[in-house]
Amino acid sequence: MPFDQLDFLYMPSADVAGDVAQFVDVLGAALVFAIEAFGTRVAMVRLGDGPALLFAGHLDGERPYLVYRVADLDAAAAELRARGFDPGPRLGIPHGPIHAFSTPGGHRVAIYELTRPEVAERLAGRRDF
């Protein structure tokens, strides 16, 4: 099975600062980081022990991506292809390479390989907005 661990939900947001304020101030989430760069805002919060929520101003659509960490991205993508599913193009996020795709029903899923683990520590506590 190519899906190892659900790390975060990549959430589209028309108002990242507003979403962060709602989750932190009202719901009691912990702010991990809030970054403004490359013409967009991205913020991560943790609400309980589950996966982190990553609000992204540049993400189109209304459905979140379920983002799974895998041990070997190439092997996981090959397994999906062997099952007749196209994992989409190989892209990049700060933590490493990623494939993001939609199911025929419109659900959005991504798989990534953690090749830059130091990024989490570098981003932790950063607050641009």
For residue 119, the domain's CATH number is 3.10.180.10
What's this model's pTM, rounded to 2 decimal places? 0.91
pLDDT band at 2 (very low <50, low <70, confident <90, very high): confident
Question: Average pLDDT, whole number, for the chain?
Answer: 95
Domain-located, residue 129 = no
Query: pLDDT at residue 1 above 70?
Result: no
Which amino acid makes up residue 101? F
Nearest to 2 by CA among 60, 93, 66: 66
- Which tokens hold the place of 111? 């798989």
Instruction: Give the model confidence (pLDDT) of 81-99 as tens digits.
Output: 999 999 999 999 999 999 9
Mean pLDDT of 72-83: 96
Domain-located, residue 19 = yes
Domain containing residue 76: 5-123
Domain-located, residue 24 = yes
Mean pLDDT of 60-68: 96
Query: pLDDT at residue 65 above 80?
Result: yes
Domain-located, residue 128 = no
Domain-located, residue 49 = yes
Domain count, the chain: 1
d(CA 67, CA 95): 12
